[in-house]
Every structure is written in structure tokens, then in C-alpha cells.
Structure 1
Amino acid sequence: MPKDKEAKPRRPRAETPRGFRDWFGAEVRSRAAMLDRITEVYHRYGFDPLETSAVETLEALGKHLPDVDRPQGGVFAWDDPDEGWLALRYDLTAPLARVYAQHRMSLPTPYRRYQVGPVWRNEKPGPGRFRQFTQCDADTVGAASVAADAEMAAMLADALEAAGIARGDYVVRINDRKVLNGALEAAGLLDPADPEADAGRRGIVMRAVDKLDRLGADGVRALLGPGRRDESGDFTPGAGLSDEQAARILGLTGARRADAAGTCARLGEIVAGSAVGAEGVAELAAIAELLEAQGYGSDRIVIDPAVVRGLGYYTGPVCEAELTFEILDDKGRPRQFGSVAGGGRYDDLVKRFTGQAVPATGVSIGVDRLLAALAAKGLGGGAEPGPVVVTVMDRAAMADYQAMAAELRAAGVRAEVFLGGGNVGRQLKYADQRRAPVAIIAGEDERARGVVQLKDLALGARLSAEIADHEAWKAQPAQVEAPRGGLVAAVREMLARADR
């Protein structure tokens, strides 16, 4: 084959893999600001920060994800020749269990920690469903009292309000896995003498009920029965329950009454005859009493038996934070925003490592979803001003331009020197792209006279595209001249004018 006919090496595609995304300037800063407000609430409640490794052994993570139809049970895993099977963490709770088991002799009990970081799930991506996302967690390890569960719900409500979600736009809903187990026992799906029997069908039931807000009662009923085919044609096998069994489970999800006392009374009827179910109802009643004593009314936190949570390691009270305001879906139809946070009690997770029961409870905020919610409410912060840009009229005077930027930075003003190429028009176009509030120019004439020109880009942005030369630039009304020695004061004055 002639040399010029040889196939050229294929270039890699410049695209993000499905289920992943990139974050840019203002988005990153908005997320950081929101997380600062949330973690300040956690800190105020007495929690300490923790950072864990992004990689854990697959054995340490365990198999607790609700979606198990992907390789390695929904996690990204690989077989390391030296370490064995390793995986990216799928949440921040399983690594916490490992940390507590590993360092329990030096940690206080109870151990109260919060953590922010990315997690990864090997799930089928879709609209709003990413394979990498950020979580913001708080957990208490070593406290068996339901007071710890009530505290988590209260702290979650406070954190949402600190993030910018107004009271009335959210509700924290609480249920108890023991109540669900009681209903499963009453439906003939759980044998207290053999709790492992029928575990597969129970998992399908829990995952189905967890999708009630998304699929509705008919969709959940299909998953409790023979199965469901979605709009794409994909079929999800069901639990194979009888109509009577499915009705009992769905009856649990509709047991909420006007107040916590009424809900607990109805739940007591549904789980009658089940010791574990009665224990769960008693825990819910105690949590409701504790929250009421702290002033958290039904406008913020409610007992709701429809809450399940899909993760398999929950053992007691569970909670979910739902945003109740409406947004438009992809087809322009109104719908509620939905869940942005959740958590619950997981008393058996540390036991996997130590063999000893260690009670634990926690909450996790889906950071990316909460950011999307704030944006939907017009509270995302929007694009922020960029840095002051020092234009470069004479490359030989670069040291002078760098000195200007250094003076501004030392005074607390964000500033940069233009390091690209081109005339002043191109430099001003760059400043516009950067959303710079002020541009500074000092050509040979200005340096000889000991002055600088300041361009107020907030006023002159519409005209910058028409500027062809330095003289035209100087003629614009949004431009002022200032002494070189008064650069910082002049820039501050112009910035203050833009803020007014």
C-alpha cells in the first residue's frame, strides 16, 4: 500500500463518557459555597470532618446497592494483581464502616463525622442520572438511641434551609425498615425463624416501593407482580406477589394519616402480630415525639410509610428529603422536583468487620441534585464577575503589567494579566468572555505620563466589539484615567460603582 494511503491513526473523541459530566467555574464555586453552608450546619451539631479513600476493597464495600443487574453489583471494580478486587466507592457510608472498624480504638464513641466527596455507580445512565456524583454525608456511629435518628432528620431540615431551600418547599419524610419487615412478615414474605429465606423477592419489593414517587402505584404494582416494561422496552422482572400480597404492601405505603399519632395507629393495625413491626412503630412514635419537642412540625418533617430507601444495609428508621415545588419535565409537564437526600439506620454494617454489633445512623445529601434544585428556583448564584484584566500594549513592559496585577491581588482584588496575543480589541473581547468588570490599559504614552486607563466593562460591553484601535478605545465614556500610583484606589472605586 502506498505510504500516503496508509490509514491515519484514529484520534480520540473529545467527549465525556455517558453518565459523567464536567463542571466549570461558576458551577464549581456555587457548589463549594453551598457545601460550606451545609457543612457549617453539620459542624454546629458537633460533627467532625473526615476524608476517606476513593478506592476500597470490593469485599469492604459489600453488595448493598439497589441495582444489581450491572457488573460487580453496580460498582466500578477491577482485579488488581497485588491487592485483589478493588472498587471505586459507591457511597460514603460503607467506607465509614471500614474506617470505624479499623480505627475504633482511637475514635470516640459515639463517633460523629461528616464527609463530602464524589462517588461512582456502574448503573445505566439516563436523564439526570449520573455515574459519578457528589454526596455530602453526616453519620453517628455507636449510638443506639432513636434520638440519634431524630437528630439526623432535624439536621437535614436545617441543612436544606441553610443551602437556600425555603421552608414550605421541602419535607423530610421518615419511616422504619422494621415496619416494612412487619408488613412483609404479615404478607408471608419474611419468616423470623429464617430471615435469609426469600431475600431476593424482598429486595425486589423494597426497590419497587422505593420507586413509588417515580412510577406511581400502577408501576409499583407491576413490579410487585409479574414485572414492568418501561417506555424504552426494557423489562424489569417483578417479585411475583399475589394480588393480596401486593395489596398489603401498597396498603402500607398509603397508611399516612393527618398526624404522626394517626399514622402510627394505622401502621400498628397493618403489622399486627409482628414483633419487629410493632418495634418499628414504637420507634416512629418516639422519633415524632422528640422532633415535636424541638419544634419541628409537620411543615418540615412527617412520618410517611411510603419511604423505603433502596440500599440494602438499612435496619431501622429511614428518612428522605423531598422538594415539593414544581418544575417542568422534558415534555413541558409540571412535576415535583423530588428527592435530594436520604439516609437511615444501619446497625449491621460495622459488624461485618468486627463481628460485634455497632449501631449507626446517617444522612446523605445528593449535592448535584440539590444544586439543580437551587438553579430551578433561580437560586443557583448565576455567573459571577471575573477578574480585572490588565491588557498588554507593549510586550517589553510585561514586568510593569505583572506589577499592576500583583498590587491589585495584594489589595484583595482578583486580577490577571492578558497572556495571549492580539490587539486591544481582541484583549477586550477576552475580558468580556471572562466577565471582567474592569480592564486596565497602559501603553507607551500612559507609562510616559505615569497614568493608566480604566475601562468600565459593565458600561462599555456593548461597544467593545466595535473598537478597532487604541484611540477609539480611549474615547469611550466608560473609560477614566487615573494616576499609576492610585491604581488600586481607582479600581476599587470603579468596582464599587458597578456594585451600586
Structure 2
Amino acid sequence: MSDKSKKPQKLKARLPRGFVDREAADIRAVNEMTAKIREVYERYGFDPVETPLFEYTDALGKFLPDADRPNEGVFSLQDDDDQWMSLRYDLTAPLARHVAENFNEIQLPYRTYRAGYVFRNEKPGPGRFRQFMQFDADSVGAPGVQADAEMCMMMADTLEALGLKGQYAIRVNNRKLLDGVLEIIGLGGEENTEKRLIVLRAMDKLDKFGIPGVRLLLGEGRKDESGDFTKGAGLDETRIDRVVELLEATKRSAEETLDAIAAVVGNNETAKQGFEELRTIAHLIIAAGYTDRVFISPSVVRGLEYYTGPVYEAELTFDVTNEKGEKVVFGSVGGGGRYDGLVSRFMGQPVPATGFSIGVSRLMTALKNLGKLGQDDVIAPVLVTVMDGDVESMSRYQKFTQALRAAGVRAEMYQGNWKKFGNQLKYADRRGCPIAIIQGGDERAQGVVQLKDLIEGKRLSGEITDNAEWREARVAQDVVPEGELVGKVLEILAAQAEDRRRAKGETTPYDSKPYDPNQEPYSDADV
């Protein structure tokens, strides 16, 4: 048998592991959400900036892979002059590179925001993807903690703008405070770097395991329900008590929390610096009226090692059901802090900076679960059907379509096999088209078009049982002169919008009495 007789093997369509395709509803939901976030950032005086997806690998800081493992944690490749480049791991390291490279041209403080995808070459799992979107805001060249306080207020205003009033908390701590307490219990110096990280990771598990679980992780270790054992930091009870005392310092008010922190700090200089910065932030929060949204919380531990001062986290406080059927707090949707050393790596001089990042996908999930996103469904296009395929007829259909678009109506002319008209109406049904426009030879000769109200027609088909009811019902099909096509379409779309509004139980003062153009405007007394 010759090679010519062999059938070519079909290419298998495969989505790469850890990646997702996004459909129209999710894309629109993200656009709706990011537009609201962007509006808040702009109101605070921040400007957009965009960096490329790729950076030279050595610019990624702590995520720099080993020379013999260039794809460890990041996706990397070599360019044509053998330099390693990597897909960005976050949006902060590229910003640091951008600032350093353009330092003499930019105006400090440099207040910017940017949204974009970041990439992690890590094992994917449930809810854990290799590509996801972040939305960051940063202020570079702002040394005072008033910049950190403002970031926390901007995070609060962002969540308010997304409809989450009363369902979130912005929690603020300081890495100097944490580092100082670790010095107090004898874990200062480079020789204790690894042990400090173990302690910080244990503290970060407070929300998940509570104080008893954290005590185990600070001590010999903790065994979970499955029997897996996590080795602890190996601290004695006295040192564990000091760490727990800090974790429990969060009180009802900022003043009470600061008093409790002061009792833990003692005379340690590092911890005192962190305490003073937190106290300044607390005063700014009180003065601005944000005490019900932004809280001093010494249990906050941000994971990235480059934070050098205040750290903050945005947490959604309502309950959700996890995969085990348990009620748990939704938790963090973003956070950040001060990173005074990141830009300095390129500069050889101190460059203060602070910023935060929102996890777009996670926040979008929360908003959709609460019904605060994607509720205003995009209306499917009005369909101009095709009855005849000659050039003259097609030209008329195209003219109708463009006239609707010019009036702001979403519209499309059928592009499939026009010879099977039933398929066109099936297509309109599957698309959820609100109206179908029909003009055959007879209608064209009379200069008219048929309009089918597909939404009303679908409702009537389910409710009407005899011809008498059909004659008395709202007309689901109409014939109008070509010149009145656009006006009639707008009228039908308005009626459909009113039906949707009433179905949701929404009312206006005008629902209670008919509109009279000669009447004075409605007042509250009329309702």
C-alpha cells in the first residue's frame, strides 16, 4: 500500500493544562469589573502604564530560576542572542524595571495602575491556574506611610464601588513589627532566615487553623485530618506565647489594638519602628473616616519576602461553602505592601515604593456569587434574515442592518445558508435574538418589512391555548413601511426592556399612573 492511500492523521484539539478558554459572559464580567476599579484608581490620580508579557529572567528578582533550571516557577525561553527571557510572574517586578530604566524621565512620586495576565510554571489544580489576571496600583518614590494609608483607603473605595459595602475588611500590619518580635524571641540575623520563614508561615495560618493550630505549627508540628504531618518551627512555650500575644493583639478599635501591640513590642527598635508607622496609619484612617473599613491587624503576614514595611490585605468577610460542604469565610482577594528594595536592585540607591494587587478572577467569582456582576445581560443582536440571495436583495438587507447599527441597535445580517429559512429562525432562537426582520419578494414589492418579536412570541407560545386568546394578546408580529423599521425596532426593544425590569420587581414613580406630557413632574408626594 502506498503512502498516498494513508489518511492524514487529524490533529487533536487540546487545551494546555492549567489554562482556560474564556467565553463572552466571563469576558464581559471582567470588563465590567475592571472598568469600575479603573474609575476609582483614576479618581485617586493614578495613570495607566503597560509593560510587556516578557522580561529578561534576571529582572524577576526572587523568582530568578537556577541557571540549570530556567523554567522553574516561570516559563522561559532564550532569545536570538541567547539571553533568557521569562513570562512575567507578577506585575510588580516589571514595574520596578520600567521605573529604573526610565528614572530620569518619570515624575516622582510615580502613581500608576495596570491590569494584565501573569504566568506561573507550577502544578495546576482546582482553582489554581498557570495564567491569571491581576490588577495593580503602585506609588513609587513615596517614602511616607501616608502613601500606604492611601493605598488601603483606595482598596476600600474599590470594593465599595463593586457593591461590597459591609462585606469586606482591609487589614493592615507592618513587617518591621513582625521582624522585631522575631528578634525579641531570638530569631534575628541571617542564620535564622529559614526559621523565621517557618514562623511567619505558621502565623499566616491563623485564619485557617486558629490559635491552637498555629501553636502546634510554632512548636513541634501539626497533623491534619488525613494524617499528613507538617513539621513545626520548634519554638519553646515561652517564645510561642510571645508570638501568640502579638496575633491576639487585634482589638475592637485601633487605639486598643495599638495599646496591645505596645505591650508586646518592649524596647526592640525594629518593632518600635513598625509600631510607630502603624500608629501614623491609624491616625490617618481615623481622620479620613475609614475606621469601619480599614483595621490595624498584627496577624496579617504577606508571603512575598520583598515587603519592607506596612503590609495590607483585602478580605471578603461573608461565608461561602467549600468543596467539603463547610461554611468558611471567602477570604483574601488582594493585598500588597511597601517594597522599598525592589527598584533599588537596579539603581544602587534607595527608591521607596508601595502598592497592591487585586486577584481579578477570585474577586470576579465572589461578585458573581453575590449577584453583583453580569446581571445586566447583553441583549443578543436583532437578526435581519435573508430570503433572496440576489445582489439587489442582499443590498437591501445590508442597508437595513446598517441603519439599525447607526441607531445604536446591535444587529446582524444572517451569514449562513440562507436557502433554508427555518434554520435562520432556529439560529435566532439559539442566539436569543429579540427580533427577526423579514422581507421576501411580496414585502419588497410593497416597500414593507415584517418584524417578529421573538421574546413575546416565545412567551405567547407557552401561555396561549386557543385562537381567541391569540387575537387578544400583544401582537408578536408586525408589518411596517421600510422607513419606519428603525423606529419600530426601538419601540419593541423598549417594551422588552420594560418587561424584564418588571419581571425583576423593579418599579419607578411612573408605574403608578399614566404619563401625561402636560402634567408637572412627579414629586415624592405623588408616589
The verdict on a shared fold, with TM-score over 0.5 as the criterion, is yes
> Which residue in the other structure is 2:360 paired with?
367
Alpha-carbon shift at residue 266 of structure 1 (Å): 1.7
Alpha-carbon shift at residue 238 of structure 1 (Å): 4.7
Q: Which amino acid aligns with 1:124?
A: K
> Which residue in the other structure is 1:256 paired with?
250
User: Do structure 1's residue 334 and structure 2's residue 331 form an aligned pair?
Assistant: no
**SS state at 1:386 partner:** coil
Quote the Cα distance in structure 2 between the aligned partners of 1:395 and 1:219.
Answer: 73
Alpha-carbon shift at residue 209 of structure 1 (Å): 2.9
Give the gaps of 5 or more residues in structure 2.
463-472, 499-527
Q: Which amino acid aligns with 2:424?
A: Q
> Which residue in the other structure is 2:372 paired with?
379
Alpha-carbon shift at residue 244 of structure 1 (Å): 4.2
Report Cα offsets for 1:55-99 as digits up to 9, x if no partner. Answer: 11111111159xxxx975532223445252211111111111111
CA contact (8 A) 2:63 2:73 kept: no
CA contact (8 A) 1:138 1:364 kept: yes
> Which residue in the other structure is 1:410 paired with?
406
Quote the Cα distance in structure 1 between the aligned partners of 2:56 and 2:227.
Answer: 36
CA contact (8 A) 2:53 2:88 kept: yes
| Higher RCO by CA contacts (8 Å cutoff, separation 6 or greater) | 1
Alpha-carbon shift at residue 6 of structure 1 (Å): 7.4
Relative to structure 1, the CA distance from residue 484 to residue 86 in structure 2 (aligned partners, 3 Å threshold; closer, same or farther) is same
Relative to structure 1, the CA distance from residue 276 to residue 232 in structure 2 (aligned partners, 3 Å threshold; closer, same or farther) is same
CA contact (8 A) 1:388 1:438 kept: yes
Q: Which amino acid aligns with 1:447?
A: R
Quote the Cα distance in structure 1 between the aligned partners of 2:48 and 2:182.
Answer: 38
* Mean Cα deviation higher: 444-453 or 247-256: 247-256
> Which residue in the other structure is 2:115 paired with?
116
CA contact (8 A) 2:265 2:271 kept: yes
Quote the Cα distance in structure 2 between the aligned partners of 1:227 and 1:12.
Answer: 47
1:20-35 residue pairs with structure 2 within 5 A? 20-35=19-34
> Which residue in the other structure is 1:89 paired with?
88
Alpha-carbon shift at residue 336 of structure 1 (Å): 1.5
**SS state at 1:322 partner:** strand
**SS state at 1:440 partner:** strand
> Which residue in the other structure is 2:506 paired with?
none
**SS state at 2:191 partner:** coil
Alpha-carbon shift at residue 226 of structure 1 (Å): 5.2
Quote the Cα distance in structure 1 between the aligned partners of 2:221 and 2:397.
Answer: 69
**SS state at 1:23 partner:** coil
Quote the Cα distance in structure 1 between the aligned partners of 2:123 and 2:425.
Answer: 45
> Which residue in the other structure is 1:287 paired with?
281
> Which residue in the other structure is 2:427 paired with?
430
1:43-442 residue pairs with structure 2 within 5 A? 43-63=42-62, 72=71, 74-80=73-79, 82-165=81-164, 167-191=165-189, 196-225=190-219, 238-297=232-291, 299-382=292-375, 383-396=377-390, 397-421=393-417, 423-442=420-439
CA contact (8 A) 2:63 2:74 kept: no
CA contact (8 A) 1:432 1:461 kept: no
Alpha-carbon shift at residue 347 of structure 1 (Å): 0.4
**SS state at 2:31 partner:** helix
Q: Which amino acid aligns with 2:276?
A: A
* Mean Cα deviation higher: 119-128 or 3-12: 3-12
Q: Which amino acid aligns with 1:253?
A: L
**SS state at 1:190 partner:** coil
* Mean Cα deviation higher: 46-55 or 448-457: 448-457
Q: Which amino acid aligns with 1:424?
A: F
Quote the Cα distance in structure 2 between the aligned partners of 1:258 and 1:476.
Answer: 60
Q: Which amino acid aligns with 1:405?
A: T
Q: Which amino acid aligns with 2:496?
A: A
CA contact (8 A) 2:162 2:372 kept: no
Relative to structure 1, the CA distance from residue 442 to residue 102 in structure 2 (aligned partners, 3 Å threshold; closer, same or farther) is same
Alpha-carbon shift at residue 216 of structure 1 (Å): 4.0
TM-score for both structures, normalised by structure 2: 0.84
Relative to structure 1, the CA distance from residue 10 to residue 200 in structure 2 (aligned partners, 3 Å threshold; closer, same or farther) is farther
Quote the Cα distance in structure 2 between the aligned partners of 1:120 and 1:131.
Answer: 5
Give the gaps of 5 or more residues in structure 1.
466-474
Q: Which amino acid aligns with 2:451?
A: L
Q: Which amino acid aligns with 1:408?
A: L
Quote the Cα distance in structure 2 between the aligned partners of 1:308 and 1:46.
Answer: 28
Alpha-carbon shift at residue 384 of structure 1 (Å): 2.3
Quote the Cα distance in structure 1 between the aligned partners of 2:383 and 2:226.
Answer: 50
- Give RMSD over aligned pairs: 2.7
**SS state at 2:125 partner:** coil
TM-score for both structures, normalised by structure 1: 0.89
Report Cα offsets for 1:89-119 as digits up to 9, x if no partner. Answer: 1111111111110001010011100111111
CA contact (8 A) 1:176 1:318 kept: yes
Relative to structure 1, the CA distance from residue 275 to residue 440 in structure 2 (aligned partners, 3 Å threshold; closer, same or farther) is same
> Which residue in the other structure is 1:469 paired with?
none
CA contact (8 A) 2:277 2:310 kept: yes
Quote the Cα distance in structure 1 between the aligned partners of 2:80 and 2:336.
Answer: 35
> Which residue in the other structure is 1:470 paired with?
none
Quote the Cα distance in structure 2 between the aligned partners of 1:212 and 1:122.
Answer: 28
Q: Which amino acid aligns with 1:63?
A: K
Quote the Cα distance in structure 1 between the aligned partners of 2:228 and 2:82.
Answer: 37
Alpha-carbon shift at residue 125 of structure 1 (Å): 2.5
CA contact (8 A) 1:172 1:302 kept: yes
Relative to structure 1, the CA distance from residue 421 to residue 462 in structure 2 (aligned partners, 3 Å threshold; closer, same or farther) is farther
CA contact (8 A) 1:392 1:417 kept: yes
Tell me the percent identity. 54
